[in-house]
Homo-oligomer: A and B are copies of this chain.
Amino acid sequence: MDSCKTLSALPQAYKLFFNTLANDSRLKIINILRNKSKNVSEICKAAGFEQSLVSHNLKILEYHGMVFMEKKGKFRYYTVNKNTIQPLLELIDAHMKKYCCKILEGTR
């Protein structure tokens, strides 16, 4: 029996999932959206990113089910997927409390 059917069956999907989060721009966007929905211009301003960069990355996040989009007139509001992203970040917060120092060591 395989105790890990999903990962072994769908390695590519798992890779894409993690890859989507392995990016400073997208993590910053997720963090900005964590509290409330925002439209593209608001995200640009909050992040200090140019609009094209934000749109490209929102597309990737949406594609992977990590944010949802809703049109309102000429604006597009984005919301984070609270079912996945919220508990995921909490899990990693806990991991970071233990291993963060070691991890950041390698970036110097």
Q: Given A3-B34, A17-B92, A83-B95, output 13 extra A-B contacts at Cβ < 8 Å.
A: A4-B31, A4-B34, A6-B96, A7-B31, A7-B34, A17-B95, A18-B22, A19-B22, A63-B102, A63-B106, A64-B103, A88-B88, A88-B92
The size class of the interface chain A forms with chain B is 35 or more
Q: Are A15 and B10 in contact (CB under 8 A)?
A: no
| A binding-site residues for B, Cβ under 8 Å | 3-4, 6-8, 10-19, 21-24, 27-28, 30-31, 34-35, 63-65, 83-84, 87-89, 91-96, 98-100, 102-104, 106-107
Q: Are A92 and B12 in contact (CB under 8 A)?
A: no
Chain B residue with Cβ nearest A105: B63
